[in-house]
Structure 1
Amino acid sequence: MTDSALIGWLIGLAVVPPLIISLISLYPVRRFASQLGLIANPGGHSTHTNVTPLGGGIGIWLGIILPMIGGTLIVCGIDLGFHQSLGLPDSVTVFFSGIRSRLGQLWCLLGAGTVLFALGIWDDRRGAPVGLRLLIEFGVAAFVVYVMGFGLTAFIGAPALTNLLSVIWIVAVINSFNMLDNMDGLSGGVAAIIAASMAAVMLTTPGSGGSLPQLFVAGLLLCVCGSLLGFLWHNRPPAKLFMGDGGSYLVGFLIAVSMLMATFASEPRPHAVLAPICAMLIPMYDMGTVLWIRIREGRSVFKGDRSHFSHRLVALGLSRTQAVLTIHLVTATCGLASLLLVHVTVLQAIAVLGIVGCMLLLVVILESTGWRKQSGE
């Protein structure tokens, strides 16, 4: 089997089942959201005008967990010939032994993600205290870094520093997607684009000490992407369902940890370590600017408002749909840049990063009018 055929099998197996499960499971969630206490009422800092279910995270979680359970059963049952009924060729099943060796890591990771998903559902239903939310987020992140051993290297010979940065990275990514969830199709779309672009990086970049693409991490990211695509069917404008904290915590966590599990930089291309930062540029830009605005105005950084990137674009005269599509386009551009970074020379990488920097500067200039308006200047 050619590499392209193998990648085609991986994409099909990792994307389609999560998409179908997420899409179908969210219909009953929409119907029974009121009984579950998962309802978002209009008003406050929110821009929506209708009472809307909040349980999108349930479908996203099911879309990830159920295929993983099925995949685990198939991989563990390979000696019994389970794969034959699925028509999987030997060139695919040859990787099953390697997958089996990492199932412990996978389920520890999914268990940690489930803790955050449950935290988010609790927050959606009753409103969890900010301090407790952050404590659990940092606790889960510390478990991943210090117990499971996933963390940044970035060519820094100081494990204590890189471990601390890894914990901060996980918590920052979780909250960046949570804060970005403020318009129909926004956070889910951005997360799907980032997951797809980073999966493309994994499928075109060999892991440490080998020539094969990083199929394990790519498969996880594609599963997240597929589940998000199923959710976006319900979240497209006008949204019939919101992601909620349960979904944003889970998605942010899995994307953040996937980037820590991956191998980006090699000896001739140390700049490739910047690929995750490049892919995450827009969620981090939104979170950073919102926090800066709130601090500058003397308001609590934990209290929601309408100073987000999307709101500032609307203040410029864009419709909500246009603002969301603009952010999707900029995110896709950053994703393509991250894919280039892992394959080009240092000088070419400087050019790629220069293009991304110019694009971001252009965004700042174009939306600064709305920014000042939101800040009352």
Structure 2
Amino acid sequence: MLEPHVPSAFDLFIAVVAASLVSAGLIVVLRPLLQRYALARPNARSSHKLPTPQGAGIAVIGATLLVTVIWQAVSGLAFPLTLTGAVLLIAIVGLVDDIRPIPVLPRLLFQIIAIGLVLLTLPSDLRMIPSVPIALERGAILLAGLWFVNLVNFMDGLDLMTVAEIVPVTAALSLLGWLEALPVLPTIVAATLCGALLGFSPFNRPVAKVFLGDVGSLPIGLLVGWCLLALAYQHHLIAALLLPLYYLADATLTLLRRIASGEPFWAAHRTHYYQLATDNGLAVTDVVGRVFMLNCVLAALAIASIQLTSPVVNGFALVAGTAAVAFVLVRFSTKQSH
């Protein structure tokens, strides 16, 4: 894929600021409508106690796409129509689900279609592991993408949680693009998504005035997953694993724990480690603050694994990142003494 130029630090700064302003402005405009038509009422899975409008993801994703498309048009690089279609499809599914819940199977089918569209943006000869048949590799990526999209949705259960996770990840991806470790398009998508979430953050800080909703969390998972896939295809697999490692660990270990205990793992619940942390006495701000700091550490390790290229550095980064995540998960699952 030919690229016009590597984004400068000024390009990325403008993308972040523009997306932030557009996102915040759209939320102000949309909030009365969301209050009326998309109210999230507390249930057994909820961490909030008052009915709260959801659907601010419309603003976040809208700002991300708008600023990205404008930047691409100015720079002369076309935004893939299949990627746009995938994001819009999964956002619409999320919006409908926010207003009137969709059964699990149709929801998964639409998600698979959206992820399949993303895979169509990949060159047919692009390979991660050449010794593995391409059909098997793409099938594994499809399943991994399906899990990643859903785990981002599962982890969006606390005020500012998605901001605390995705802002460090997308900021790191933007920096890696500036360092020429990531292609231009995912770099700009990461920067605009980072900015859009920063614009959303004042409205979502405890106690949240508005939630992302599935219309936000699902396409965020799709876009971040695509950016991480682009990073992995640049032969930076360790970094692509490190950046979302907390989300991967919390969601996957929670799923395995529920399966092992015989729980209906498909049913709504609030037993993720970050949810256990609030039950164990940590304030919401403490939980998201620790998640944010952890993700900053993981981002630093991911960048180091690319800039200081050696098997020793890669191994240390992976071990250190895993240990940091394990430490936080243990703290979250331990009763806090006051």
With the length of structure 1 as denominator, give the TM-score of the two structures. 0.81
Quote how far apart the aligned CAs of 1:294 are: 2.2
| Correspondence for 1:340 among 288, 304, 316 | 304
* Separation (CA, whole Å) in 2 of partners of 1:117 and 1:182: 18
Partners of 2:7 and 2:333 in 1: how far apart? 46
Name the structure 1 match of 2:204.
235
2:38/2:54 contact within 8 Å kept: yes
1:57 Cα deviation after fit: 0.8
For 1:55, give the aligned amino acid. Answer: G
Partner Cα distance (1:173, 1:294) in 2: 18
Residues 69-102 of structure 1, C-alpha deviations (whole Å, 9 max, x = no match): 43355x2xxxxxxxxxxxxxxxxxxxx34x2xxx
Other-structure match for 1:9 = 10
- Compute the displacement of 1:137 (Å): 0.8
Q: In structure 2, how many angstroms separate the alpha carbons of the residues matched to 1:108 and 1:368?
A: 41
Partner of 2:53: 53
| Contact kept? 2:8, 2:178, Cα under 8 Å | yes
User: How has the CA–CA distance of structure 1 residues 239 and 152 changed in structure 2, closer, same or farther, with 3 Å as cutoff?
Assistant: farther
The SS at the match of 1:217 is helix
8 Å CA contact 1:176, 1:283 repeated in 2 = yes
C-alpha distance in 1, partners of 2:172/2:195?
13
Residues 24 and 265 of structure 1: CA distance in aligned 2, closer, same or farther (over 3 Å): closer
Q: CA deviation at 1:275?
A: 1.0
Quote the residue 1:132 is aligned against.
106
Aligned in 2, Cα 1:357/1:193: closer, same or farther, shift over 3 Å? same
The letter of the residue matching 2:105 is G
Q: 1:162 to 1:64 in 2, by over 3 A?
A: same
Change over 3 Å in CA distance of 1:156–1:282 after alignment to 2: farther
Q: Please list, as runs of the form range in 1=range in 2, the aligned pairs for 1:41-80 lying within 5 A after superposition.
A: 41-73=41-73, 75=74
The answer as to whether partners of 1:116 and 1:249 remain within 8 angstroms in 2 is yes
Identity %: 22
TM-score when normalising by structure 2: 0.90
| 2:319 alignment partner, one of 351, 354, 369 | 354
Distance in 1 between the 2:249 and 2:328 partners?
11
Q: Closer, same or farther in 2 for the Cα pair 1:217/1:6, shift >3 Å?
A: closer
Q: What is the total number of aligned residue pairs between the two structures?
A: 329
After TM superposition, give the deviation of residue 263 of structure 1 in Å. 5.8
Pairwise CA distance, 1:122: 0.3
Shift in Å at residue 144 of structure 1? 2.1
User: Of 238, 248, 258, which residue of structure 2 is paired with 1:284?
Assistant: 248
The structural deviation recorded for 1:132 is 0.8
> Matched residues in 1 for 2:8 and 2:306: separation?
18
Structure 1, 18-27 or 149-158: larger mean CA deviation: 149-158
Corresponding residue of 2:97? 123
Q: Residues of 2 paired with 1:13 and 1:219: CA distance?
A: 10
Structure 1 or 2, whichever has the larger Rg, is: 1
Q: CA deviation at 1:142?
A: 1.8
- Give the Cα separation in 1 of the matches to 2:164 and 2:127: 26
Closer, same or farther: CA 152–17 of 1 in aligned 2, 3 Å: farther
Paired letter, 1:248:
S
For residues 340-367 of structure 1, give each alpha carbon's deviation from its aligned partner in whole angstroms, at most 9, with x where no partner exists.
Answer: 1112211122222221122233234334
Does residue 173 of the first structure (1) align with residue 173 of the second (2)? no
- Note the 1:264-343 alignment, pairs <5 A: 265=234, 272-343=236-307
**Match of residue 186, structure 1, among 151, 154, 161:** 161
SS at match of 2:249: helix
Match of 2:3 in 1: none
Structure 2 runs not aligned, ≥5 long: 1-5
Alpha-carbon spacing, 1:47–1:146, altered in 2? closer, same or farther (3 Å): same
Q: Is the 8 A contact 2:19 2:192 kept in 1?
A: yes
Query: CA offset at residue 47 of structure 1?
Result: 1.7
Equivalent residue for 2:21? 20
- Measured against aligned partners, the alpha-carbon deviations of 1:79-136 in whole angstroms (never above 9, x if no partner) come to xxxxxxxxxxxxxxxxx34x2xxx152x321221011000000000000111111111
Q: Is the 8 A contact 1:176 1:286 kept in 2?
A: no
In 2, Cα distance between equivalents of 1:256 and 1:43: 29
- Following superposition, the deviation at residue 260 of structure 1 comes to 2.0
**What is the alpha-carbon distance in structure 1 between the residues aligned to residue 327 and residue 130 of structure 2?**
31
> 1:92 maps to which residue?
none
Deviation at 1:310, TM superposition (A): 0.9
Distance 1:263 1:224 in 2: 19
User: Structure 1 residues 141 and 6, CA, compared in 2 at 3 Å: closer, same or farther?
Assistant: closer
Cα deviations by residue, 1:184-234 (Å, 9 ceiling, x for unpaired): 000133112211112222222346xxxxxx332211110111111111121
Matched AA of 1:323: V
1:258 aligned partner, one-letter code: C
